[in-house]
Amino acid sequence: MTHLVDQERYRAELEEDGGVVEVGYLDYTRDAGHADGDRLALTHTVVYDRFGGRGFAADLVEAVLTDIRGSGNKVVPVCSYVVRYLEKHPEHADLVVSAR
């Protein structure tokens, strides 16, 4: 996974045929300066069709949540996939805040 800060995007990658191939991405918007850290609204998760059905979306969301936890920030789940993922993984509930 690569965090493209300037694009507000996390990119999922896979080594294939001696190179790195993008398999999808997760977009976010940052709302900075809250008492509980920055809030990242996770807005859109995409895995390209040729990589679908292999768990890459779940792996990407897990990696993104781990990165956000490490940075001390919070999550506003907007993307329907992220919402469903968080429902299935209550261990990340402490990261979730409302958009307020």
Whole-number Å distance between alpha carbons of 88 and 82:
10
Mean pLDDT, residues 19-30: 96
What tens digit of pLDDT does each residue of 26-64 get? 999 998 878 777 999 999 999 999 999 999 999 999 999
Hey, is 45 helix, strand or coil? Answer: strand
pLDDT recorded at residue 100: 61
What tens digit of pLDDT does each residue of 85-94 get? 999 999 999 9
Domains within the chain, CATH numbers bracketed = 2-95 (3.40.630.30)
Inform me whether the pLDDT recorded for 76 exceeds 80.
yes
